[in-house]
């Protein structure tokens, strides 16, 4: 059996095993996916974070599923082409924000975007613009940037995404 790997990228001020990643990792493990989460704490540069993600994935089986939240969503998208990702699952991805590089060109792969209508960190319009260009399945929720109130729904959407990826 081919090993399926999911790689999580946390947001700017979060941690590799925060609330969302712990819950989503449980969903992935239940579907027999290998789970990795990159630790970006102490790394302020977007380029250095991206280099760490690429280095961490260099020893993994090919074609990981990349999951990212906020800045981690940007990193997952940026890494999708060089890693030939089998899919992207992005939570309030930080695109087109001051201080960040332009929205990266991403792999053409199945993509899901989840964004909160009340996000005051990354405007929902940024997630929608990316989703439109990617043809991504998009879930808009009545939630804030952290999306904690929507976590049960997000877990269900990830479970469905994993099932469809390898149906």
Bridge partners (DSSP) listed for residue 8: 37, 67
d(CA 21, CA 8): 7
Between 118 and 1, name the one with better pLDDT: 118
pLDDT band for position 2 (50/70/90)? low
Task: For each of the domains in the chain, give its residue range(s) and CATH number, in order of start.
Answer: 5-165 (3.40.50.1820)
Q: How confident is the prediction for the chain on average, in pLDDT?
A: 96
Instruction: With beta carbons less than 8 A apart as the criterion, state whether 91 and 68 touch.
Output: yes
Beta carbons within 8 Å of 161's beta carbon, 6+ residues apart? 87, 89, 110, 112, 137
> What beta strand segments (E) does 117-165 contain?
137-141
pLDDT over 90 (residue 61): no
pLDDT tens digits, one per residue of 26-49: 999 999 999 999 999 999 999 999
Query: Is 0.95 topped by the overall pTM?
Result: yes
pLDDT band for position 1 (50/70/90)? very low
pLDDT over 80 (residue 101): yes
Bridge partners (DSSP) listed for residue 138: 113
The C-alpha torsion from 126 through 131 and 134 to 135, rounded to 10°, is -160
């Amino acid at each position: 059996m081919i090993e399926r790997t999911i790689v999580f990228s946390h947001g700017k001020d979060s941690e590799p095993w925060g609330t969302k990643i712990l819950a989503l990792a449980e969903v992935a493990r239940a579907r027999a996916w290998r789970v990795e989460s990159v630790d970006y704490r102490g790394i302020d540069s977007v380029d250095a974070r991206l280099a760490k993600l690429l280095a961490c994935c260099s020893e993994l089986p090919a074609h990981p599923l990349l999951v990212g939240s906020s800045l981690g969503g940007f990193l997952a998208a940026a890494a999708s082409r060089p890693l030939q990702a089998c899919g992207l699952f992005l939570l309030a991805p930080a695109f087109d924000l001051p201080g960040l590089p332009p929205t990266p060109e991403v792999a053409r792969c199945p993509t899901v975007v989840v964004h909160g209508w009340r996000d005051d960190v990354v405007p929902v319009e940024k997630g929608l613009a990316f989703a439109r260009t990617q043809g991504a399945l998009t879930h808009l929720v009545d939630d804030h940037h952290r999306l904690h109130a929507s976590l049960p729904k997000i877990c269900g959407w990830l479970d469905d995404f994993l099932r469809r990826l390898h149906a």
